[in-house]
A and B are shown apart, each in its own frame.
Chain A
Amino acid sequence: MKDRFLLLLYMLALLLLSSLSSIKYLLLVFSLLLLANAVSLRSSLGRAIRPPVFALFTALFISTPYALWTGHYSYALLLTLRVLNLTLLTLLVLRNTNLYLALGFSKTLSQLLVLTSSHILLYRRVFSEFKDSLRSRSPEGPQRRDMINFSGGIGLYFFDRALRDSEEVAKAMKSRGFDID
């Protein structure tokens, strides 16, 4: 119940943050979310701010050219702050919510979540094995040509495997009663 409630709150907060257009309030929310993330991680603010740095780069990549082109600097700042806030909020909720329980009310969403998370965990392990095997088989250290072949090869592998695995996991879930057809 707690997880569903948190998920509902999260969705409402998403709507609220998306419609908030005061930079002053967005900055205030940003500070609060940063603090909440640090508390949740039981760490310093420095560690809590690391994940949104990537989001900041992405946001700046889009908003900076827009601001330079149109001269609407305050709007670019507003967009960047919104992206940062949404990222921090999402991380905070993901860390404190059991998504499996939260999405338990919908078979479709549960199935989607199981498919996604099982793929992520499995592929992360396989990718690390691929990297180990490249190191192990490279007496001279991989060259540029090897890296190109390697990237292409594993890209193809994961694409092919994703198709096969999804089918397999979907069948397994169907046999356990998650029938959404």
Chain B
Amino acid sequence: MIELIDVYYHYENHIALRGINLKIEEGERVVLLGINGSGKSTLLKILNALIFPQKGSYLYRGKRVEEKTLKERDFRKTFRREVVLLFQNPEVMIFNPTVYDELAFSLRQLGLEEKVIRDKVLYWADKFGLTPYLQRPPFELSTGIKQKLCLACLLVLEPKVLLLDEPTAHLDPRTTGWFVDLLWELSCTTVVSTHNLSLANELGSRLLVLGEDHTLVYDGKIEEFFKDKGNLIRAGLLHRHKHRSTGDWHLHSL
């Protein structure tokens, strides 16, 4: 479904991704792990075709995704409907006057009838507990509710691939639990980025790890990765600090 072949990407003064090769099949639940600045967000932006590889290629359902193909109306419409991204900061996804308009935003562009749009909006609002807020300006909501709203805005499109950039970063423990349960209810392919090791197990079954050198240092089962401490060290996911009680140095994961 998704294939990256020898992908490189660099910003003005630093490299973000180096020689990334990977394949993701339909229905897979992938967790993307790496320390801050390892290139997780860049990789997700490439998968969502917001930026394009400077070297190498990105194939979606066998078709090369690049600026040119995104200009083809039919492909763009299908791609933007099927592959969606939840941004790390939910506030940047909110710009409509009411919660209802926010949920209806992408559906309206698809040219659906207003009744169909309404039914879908009401269904997802109810599922996410957003019904009481439908006529309120979304920027007034709390961060947790905003995060729920942003996710609902994506799911109304019934996407095939859901990309999530640090989705639990702004959530309290209770909402995080709700979010993890919801993720397993969804039938679409998911790619979730995180630097939270304790949560990685809960978010998927396959693990991709980006190392400090911006290469893919691990691609396999989550359980296997954690069995070998060397993996954690190579990915920069272990840190050393002095134990307060004994004064000894210990290695800890993030």
Contact = CB atoms under 8 A, between A and B. Distances in A.
Interface string B91-128: 11111110001000110011100000000000000000
A160 B97 contact: no
Contact of A139 (B50, B92, B106): B106
Interface residues on B, range: 20 to 34
Contacts of B50: 132, 135-136
Contacts of B101: 149
A165 interface: no
B47 to A, nearest CB: 11
B61 to A, nearest CB: 16
A138 B87 contact: no
A152 interface: yes
A129 B80 contact: no
Contact of A137 (B73, B76, B105, B111): B105
B81 interface: yes
A141 interface: yes
A136 B95 contact: no
B106 A138 contact: yes
A120 B109 CA distance: 32
Contacts of B77: 139-140
A160 B153 CA distance: 23
A94 interface: no
Nearest to B90: A133
A154 interface: yes
B234 interface: no
13 contacts: A126-B89, A126-B91, A133-B95, A136-B87, A137-B80, A137-B106, A138-B106, A138-B109, A139-B77, A140-B76, A143-B109, A150-B95, A153-B94
Interface of B: 45, 48, 50, 73, 76-77, 80-81, 84-85, 87, 89, 91-97, 101, 105-106, 109-111, 139, 153-154, 157
Interface of A: 126, 129-130, 132-143, 146, 149-150, 152-154, 156-157, 160
